[in-house]
Amino acid sequence: MSERAPDKPGMSIPSGRKMPREDRLKPPDWAGGRSAAPNDGGFRTIGKRNRKLEGLAKVTGRAVYADDLTLPRMLHGKLLRSIHAHARIVSIDASHALALPGVHAVITGRDLPSYFGIIPWTEDEQALCEDKARYVGDAIAAVAADSELIAEQALRAIRVEYDVLPAVHDIDTALAHPEWQVNEKASEGNLSKHVLLEFGAVDADLEASDVVVEAEYWYEGSTHAPIETHCALADYDPTGFLTLWSSTQVAHYLHRDLAKVLELPTQRIRVIQPTVGGAFGGKSEPFSLEFCAAKLSMVTGRPVKILHTREEVFYAHRGRHPMRLVYRTGMRRDGMLTATSAKIHIDGGAYSSFGLVTTYYSGQLLTAPYRLPAYRFDSTRVFTNKPCCGPKRGHGSVQPRFAFECQLDKLAEQVGLDPIEVRRRNFIGEHTRTVNGMRVTSNGFLQCLDAVEAASGWRDKFRRQPYGRGIGVAGSMYISGTNYCIYPNEMPQSAVQLKLDRSGRATVFCGISDIGQGADSMLALIVAEELGVDLRDIRVVAADTDLTPVDLGSYSSRETFMCGNACLDAARKLRETITGTLADRWGVPRGEVVLAGGQAVWTRDPAQHAMSIQSAFQAAESAHGTLGSVGWYQSPKLGGDYRGGTIGASPAYSFTAHVAEVACDEETGFVKVERLWVAHDCGRALNPVTVEGQMEGSAYMGFAEALFEEQTYKPAAVGHAFGLHHGPSLLDYRIPTSLDTPEMSSHIIESVDPEGPYGAKEAGEGPLHPSVPAIANAIHDALGIRCDRLPFHPPQVRALLKATDARAAWERARTSQRGVRAGAGGC
């Protein structure tokens, strides 16, 4: 699919020029900067171990999810899905379905012909396939009925005539058979996106390296498997107004695409995100069920709800892309990296989703925390007849990170250096720029390495444990939001409206999408810190397009950083109003008025001047009228001076290091991860409990991909064609249970970023990345085998043990390490 760069000055910058002048919206500068506490004497709420706002409602069953909602006269919708991986739709006969009592409507692709897609340049999906189904499970019709059971019966009564086409089941077939075109919107054959970028003299530097390691890696696909399946409830009223409740993480983009596909004015659509039961990237674009619920409601004049079954979540997918990655990496004898060359093939499934970005991310996000002097990546995403892949926690960069951190481990072994030491020597530093032009601000990666090295007892364990036990390390970086909206525009990426009430209450209105990570709570913490309001007296009204200003949604780890900054500005504006009012009234300098702990006081003599926050709000309202403020965030202009140089550019990067310890059963191939140590530089932890929760959740998710989870499909065989999901259920898609998950310790590193709210950076995705390579490297330390293919199932580990002289490799690794230790001792 061709990329059409928007025709705007500044988007295609001649190389060699300096970054363009900052001419975008610029948030206010605050004395002391964004990272400082509002009052002297440090933070009062920020950094404390507070509960999440919504935690109690969730654990007591009071939280309202989309499927908890029912409306009078509500119908139930269901989607008819293709039973073929690739087939032309010759005809659809719904007459028998419509004749069933209790069936109210059937719609097909012809009713919703507009193409949509999360990336404006690759709109290649229809709500219901009009001409062709592209994977087993692709939606081709929808029904509305009195009950789910009747809707199911109606689906079985719909007659579809298919013309079955050859199916493309993997990367190589996609490339070898361009004539079996999966997606007609592709520019050629089955090519979804190709990116080739080179920085520095890669080939020459590889040539000049003391050691070069080349290996092929396979990262198996996996899916998000949130506890809550997708659900949408649509209500189109007689005035022509559509309300849609949906378990989405991008209400704003959904709003836009609903307008497009349903051909309704944007201002006559309201999208509401109720409590969401997990998403992990699996709800970050519009899905068939949202359009179909809306259309069925328009057709029937009644509210329509569609709830995905667990099986349908596996078909909606948008999970981690399978990737084949070939890396050549060079190193000098002293452990310094020289050059890296990557050739990557990405299995995209049937549609584009975020694939354009995925393809860039597969290369762009590798260039820290180590300095890569020369770097090339050549990434190709292809279409196949499988459910569409998309963004899963750590979008696009988890796979290359796995490969590269394994490369580092192999190189360290070859030059005889401790792998932690190799990572230290190549540290890129802070306030610097990567080889591909990304601006790096704060960087606590060295402290991360120190923390996991010390906590794990690394020095006593690495290469020192008996056969079968091992320890491994890996590092990573990740973005705190991207610097552009998905569709080009000059408006803010996040916004907050803040209302103060004379009751003493504060209400934050924001499009922010809390999907369980605690985003809403971050806004409350900021307001509490700035205005001294008790956390219980702050309400966050979020992700309702009628009530809240736009935020782009919960993706690319942007919410705390961007909405947080918007909220910080809104709260600081009101803080100045209030402290100014009191300073005037008390006749003291405004810098001496503090709002904290539910009180407004004069710091010099609280006994003389103090009042409750409620009275302070009333004083300010009396002086200035109704109290409200806005704040917004727009990132500075960032990125490299080349086509695609803005993809991967972020106002701040987080950094992570993991150490994993494993115990392996040589006889069966079972790998037990006994312990994970995770250190993450999140800038500043606004709430350490939430940060630890994100670190643990991320590390567990990575661990699960390493050892258990895989979204795979049954191969063709006698009696059945290709394309069936291996087992679309939580019995066959094996997520580790609480008994399988390791003990974990989290170490928060606070580098305090100059641009984050109070110095905060992301914590929700970065800590996933090193999980997989740390475990792979630990398995090598334990068994002497290199697990270059995911997942590290017992059968695969056994096969590697049988195929290689693992014991000899294990011995060799030890000798290499001992040699270095002896050498070092002699210095």
Lookup: tokens for 820 = 């270095």
Residue 736 within binding range of other proteins, rule CB under 8 A:
yes
720 near other proteins, judged by CB under 8 A: yes
Question: With contacts defined by CB under 8 A, how many residues of the chain interact with other proteins?
Answer: 42
Segment interacting with other proteins (CB under 8 A) among 117-125, 197-205, 717-725, 804-812: 717-725
The alpha-carbon radius of gyration of the chain (Å, integer) is 27
Q: Does 84 bind other proteins (CB under 8 A)?
A: yes
822 sits near other proteins (criterion: CB under 8 A): no
Considering only residues 139 through 168, tell me which ones interact with other proteins, judged by CB under 8 A: 147-149, 152
x-or-dash pattern for other proteins, window 407-446, by CB under 8 A?
A: ----------------------------------------
Q: Which of 61, 466, 587, 719 binds other proteins (CB under 8 A)?
A: 719
Site for other proteins in 657-686 (CB under 8 A): 667-669
**Which has the closest alpha carbon to 766: 786, 746, 788, 780?**
746
790-819 positions binding other proteins, by CB under 8 A: 793-795, 798-799
> Which pair of tokens denotes residue 586?
């008390």
Residue nearer to other proteins on the CB measure, 80 or 357? 80
Q: Which stretch binds other proteins (CB under 8 A): 106-114, 252-260, 465-473, 737-745?
A: 737-745
For residue 58, the SS3 value is helix
Q: Which tokens sit at 182?
A: 């999966």
Q: Please report how close the Cβ of residue 88 comes to other proteins at its closest, in angstroms.
A: 17
Distance of closest approach, residue 396 Cβ to other proteins, in angstroms? 28
Residues whose CB is less than 8 angstroms from the CB of residue 267 and which lie 6 or more positions away in sequence, other chains included:
none
Measured from the CB atom, is 82 or 122 closer to other proteins? 82
The pattern of x and - marking residues 617 through 656 that bind other proteins according to CB under 8 A reads ----------------------------------------
SS3 32: coil
Under the binding rule (CB under 8 A), the answer on residue 136 touching other proteins is yes
Question: Scanning the structure block, which residue is given the tokens 């910058």?
Answer: 13
Q: What would the two tokens of residue 231 be?
A: 């659900």
Which residue, 519 or 704, is less far from other proteins as judged by CB? 704
Candidates 324, 575, 725, 747; binder of other proteins (CB under 8 A) is: 725
699, 496 Cβ separation under 8 angstroms:
no
**Selection from 517, 580, 513, 12 nearest residue 284 by Cα:** 513
Instruction: Show contacts with other proteins in window 178-207 (CB under 8 A).
Output: none
C-alpha to C-alpha distance for 818 and 499, rounded to whole angstroms = 65
- Here the tokens at position 380 are 């190709």
Residue 708 contacts other proteins per CB under 8 A: yes
Query: Is residue 68 a contact residue for other proteins (CB under 8 A)?
Result: no
Nearest to 385 by CA among 821, 822, 716: 716
Give me the count of residues in the chain: 827
In angstroms, give the least distance from the CB of 672 to other proteins.
9
> Of 585 and 714, which has the nearer Cβ to other proteins?
714
Q: Of 143, 136, 140, 146, whose CA–CA distance to 157 is shortest?
A: 143
For residues 726 and 709, what is the distance between their CA atoms, to the nearest angstrom?
12
Q: Rule CB under 8 A: is residue 100 a binding residue for other proteins?
A: no
619 versus 662: smaller Cβ distance to other proteins: 662
For the record, the structure tokens of 168 come out as: 């493309």
Q: How far is the CB of 96 from other proteins (least distance, A)?
A: 16
At closest approach, how far in Å is the CB of 740 from other proteins?
5
Q: What is d(CA 725, CA 740) in angstroms, rounded to the nearest whole number? A: 24
Q: Which is nearer to other proteins, 201 or 799 (CB)?
A: 799
Among 363, 323, 342, residue whose Cα is nearest residue 644: 363
Question: Cβ of residue 123: shortest distance to other proteins, in angstroms?
Answer: 28
Which H/E stretch holds residue 161? strand 159-164
Question: How large is the angle between the packed helices 771-783 and 806-826, nearest 10 degrees?
Answer: 100
Nearer to other proteins, 142 or 473 (CB): 142
Contacts of 372 (CB under 8 A, 6+ apart): 199, 337, 339, 340, 366, 434, 435
Helices 613-624 and 564-586: crossing angle, nearest 10°? 80
Of the pair 5, 149, the CB lying nearest other proteins is at 149
With tokens 């699919």, the residue in question is 1
What 8-state DSSP symbol labels residue 560?
I
List of residues contacting other proteins (CB under 8 A): 81, 83-84, 136, 147-149, 152, 229, 307, 309-311, 667-669, 708, 714, 717-720, 723-729, 731-732, 734, 736-740, 793-795, 798-799
